[in-house]
Amino acid sequence: MLGVNIREPEEIVKKSVRERGYTFSVLLDNTAEVAQRYQVRATPTVYLIDRRGLLVASAVGARPWDSPQGRSVLQELLAVK
């Protein structure tokens, strides 16, 4: 898992990561180049990419990824070889 933050100051991002207990890397997209390349129009936008590097799903807006349904989706994705 990898997070990308768009145009927020580094200190605010670090504080948010700490407060939310994220255990994955969060990169800073200071120029919004990544957001433009991936056509992000709202945040959060989530792209699920399988082990082969193929986009398998996307979601705009917050989702309960720690819910049973969310965990199931992620577990299925991780099981694909």
The pLDDT score that the predictor gives to residue 18 is 96
CB count within 10 Å of CB 12 equals 10
The pLDDT score that the predictor gives to residue 19 is 96
The pLDDT score that the predictor gives to residue 81 is 66
Give dist(CA 23, CA 34) in Å, integer: 22
pTM: 0.72
Give dist(CA 72, CA 9) in Å, integer: 34
Longest C-alpha distance within the chain, in Å?
37
DSSP for residue 44:
S
Tens of pLDDT, residues 6-64: 999 999 999 999 999 999 999 999 999 999 998 999 999 998 888 788 888 889 999 99
User: Do 24 and 57 belong together in one domain?
Assistant: no
The pLDDT score that the predictor gives to residue 36 is 94
Place of tokens 């800073």: 28
Which residue segment(s) compose the domain that 81 sits in?
42-81
User: Do 30 and 47 belong together in one domain?
Assistant: no
User: Do 24 and 35 belong together in one domain?
Assistant: yes
User: Do 30 and 50 belong together in one domain?
Assistant: no
